[in-house]
């Protein structure tokens, strides 16, 4: 079944698919316990971030990587992962196709799709499935596509043979630590989300002067790609082979694109983009920071 599953995924264009056990190894669970939770994730400390807590009787997790790199083109002012249509929607479509195929093969199978919207720790599960290693910037790094990947999973009660984590590791070159706009990297190897530019561009409400200064360090008004742009593991990687991620890219968002739109109009026009989830008010705020700064 695993061989047939991987063949079906390759037919869909997914060439980085692995299997993790629903029971993550103790070493990974220890890392999870010591990893701070991003304030933007659906997880809370009270939710057990395991496959078994999301699907009773879970045996395996099918993990797929979805590369989104579109080449060494001029950078826009939104993060690379938002250039395409919303990856949550694209990933879900792929996972639904895989689930439908699984049901045809095993009518009694139970599944649950996770597309970056569940308490499941995607990076650690992908690491357990042998799809990459964790960089100093806490991103999953794949040997083919670098860290320019999003992750989707299907939890199932079918006992697929799990893969083994890779023995490869980050080069520890220090580029991400040195270039980080918010200096998020602590000496003990942990990560401080509170000063991460990507987090700050999505944080609602008024920002402090120091937070605004961090956002102004690079042109992006949503997200932050700095640690990925300087990472040696991301040099010379191919563009995504997935056509839905190549379709209709949007790299630049300007004030006059959205300022006159009602919230409903904004949702209709940009609701299929990953940067839209915080609404136009946050985007206009960030645009004002960058625009005001460039005029100084």
Strands 17-21 and 60-67: antiparallel
Please report how the helices 87-105 and 2-11 are oriented relative to each other, as an axis angle in degrees rounded to 10.
140
Name, in order, each residue with C-beta under 8 angstroms of 179's C-beta and a sequence gap of 6 or more: 226, 227, 230
Rounded Cα distance between 99 and 194, Å, is 37
Q: What are the φ and ψ backbone dihedral angles of 286, each rounded to 5 degrees?
A: -65, -40
- Report residue 4 as tokens: 């047939």
Q: Which of 116, 136, 248, 256 is catalytic?
A: 116
Nearest partner of 16 among 83, 64, 80, judged by Cα = 64
Strands 60-67 and 140-141: unpaired
Place of tokens 């991620």: 245
DSSP, res 116 = S
SS3 234: helix
What distance separates the 2 farthest-apart alpha carbons in the chain? 64
Rounded Cα distance between 30 and 124, Å, is 11
CB atoms within 10 A of CB 3: 8
Please, is 48 exposed, middle or buried when counting C-beta atoms within 10 Å of its C-beta (0-12, 13-18, 19+)? exposed
DSSP character string of 69-84: ---SPPP-SB-GGGSS
CB atoms within 10 A of CB 235: 10
Active site residue 163: no
State the catalytic residues. 116
């Amino acid at each position: 079944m695993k061989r047939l599953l991987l063949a079906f995924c390759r037919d869909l264009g997914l060439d980085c698919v692995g299997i993790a056990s629903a029971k993550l190894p103790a070493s990974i669970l220890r890392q999870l316990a010591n990893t701070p939770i991003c304030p933007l994730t659906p997880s809370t400390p009270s939710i057990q971030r395991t496959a078994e807590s999301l699907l009773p009787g879970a045996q395996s997790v099918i993990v797929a990587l979805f590369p989104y790199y579109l080449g060494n083109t001029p950078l826009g002012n939104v993060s690379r992962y938002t250039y395409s249509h919303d990856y949550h929607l694209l990933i879900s479509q792929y996972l639904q196709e895989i689930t439908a195929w699984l049901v045809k093969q095993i009518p009694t199978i139970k599944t649950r799709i996770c597309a970056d919207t569940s308490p499941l720790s995607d990076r650690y599960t992908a690491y357990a499935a042998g799809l990459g290693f964790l960089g100093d910037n806490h991103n999953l790094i794949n040997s083919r596509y670098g860290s320019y990947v999003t992750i989707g999973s299907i939890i199932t009660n079918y006992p697929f043979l799990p893969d083994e984590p890779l023995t490869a590791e980050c080069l520890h070159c220090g580029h991400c630590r040195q270039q980080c706009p918010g200096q998020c990297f602590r000496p003990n190897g942990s990560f401080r989300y509170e000063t991460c530019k990507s987090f700050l561009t999505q944080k609602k409400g008024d920002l402090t002067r120091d937070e605004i200064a961090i956002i102004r360090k690079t042109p992006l008004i949503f997200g932050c790609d700095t640690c990925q742009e300087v990472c040696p593991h991301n040099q010379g990687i191919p563009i995504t082979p997935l056509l839905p991620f190549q379709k209709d890219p949007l790299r630049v968002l300007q004030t006059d694109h959205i300022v006159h739109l009602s919230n409903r109009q904004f949702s209709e026009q940009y609701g299929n983009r990953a940067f839209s989830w915080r609404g136009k008010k946050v985007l206009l705020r960030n645009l004002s920071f960058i625009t005001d700064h460039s005029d100084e």
